[in-house]
């Protein structure tokens, strides 16, 4: 399902440009426009679901994309660790209500994220 009012559905559809890192049948991964660290990437299912807890089957479907994107960031950028997280609900900091998993590469002695 696609929601024409949803910014991530529009990115998936190619209506809004993004810097794509990875894509497969279930998901695309693109650079966050306000990166917390170099290479901060969002993995987004092609189908519109609001959040991670709303659709466990979708989480399973995008698991290979999460792993492949993490691998790419590790090998291309030399990340030595990765914060992998998904905010659920406005009170938890979710601002786009289309499931997305943040992959935030870490580089050994970089400063913390507060
Ligand atoms: P949330 O706060 O929902 O966990 O994360 C949403 C993320 O999406 C934020 O880190 C924000 O920078 C990113 N974001 C929002 N709109 C766009 C967009 O149009 N393009 C890209 N590349 N990232 C976006
Ligand atoms: Zn959407």
For 30, what's the count of Cα atoms within 13 Å in the CB-facing half-sphere?
A: 19
What do you get for the CA distance between the two ends of the chain, in Å? 36
Residue 111: predicted pLDDT:
80
Tokens representing 64 are 């290979």
**C-alpha 109 to ligand 1 mean position (Å):** 25
**C-alpha 110 to ligand 1 mean position (Å):** 22
pTM (two decimals): 0.96
Residue 113: pLDDT band (50, 70, 90) is confident
Give the single-character DSSP code of 39.
T
Protein residue with least CA distance to atom 13, ligand 1 = 32
Whether 1 shows a pLDDT value over 70: the answer reads no
**C-alpha 8 to ligand 1 mean position (Å):** 9
Q: Tens digits of per-residue pLDDT, 54-112?
A: 998 999 999 999 999 999 999 999 999 999 999 999 999 999 999 999 999 999 878 87
Tokens representing 63 are 């698991």
Residue 4: pLDDT band (50, 70, 90) is confident
Give the single-character DSSP code of 92.
G
Domains of the chain in sequence order: 7-106 (3.30.428.10)
Cβ 86 under 6 angstroms from ligand 1: no
Rounded to two decimals, the ipTM of the complex is 0.99
100 is catalytic: yes
């Amino acid at each position: 399902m696609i929601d024409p009012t949803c910014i991530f559905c529009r990115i998936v559809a190619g209506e809004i440009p993004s810097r794509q890192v990875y894509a497969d049948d279930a998901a695309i991964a693109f650079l966050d426009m306000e990166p917390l660290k170099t290479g901060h990437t969002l993995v987004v299912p092609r189908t519109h679901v609001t959040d991670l807890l709303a659709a466990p089957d979708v989480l399973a479907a995008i698991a290979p994309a999460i792993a492949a994107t993490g691998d790419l960031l590790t090998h291309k950028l030399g990340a030595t660790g990765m914060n992998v997280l998904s905010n659920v609900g406005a009170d938890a900091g979710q601002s786009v209500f289309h499931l997305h998993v943040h992959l935030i590469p870490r580089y050994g002695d970089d400063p913390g994220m507060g």
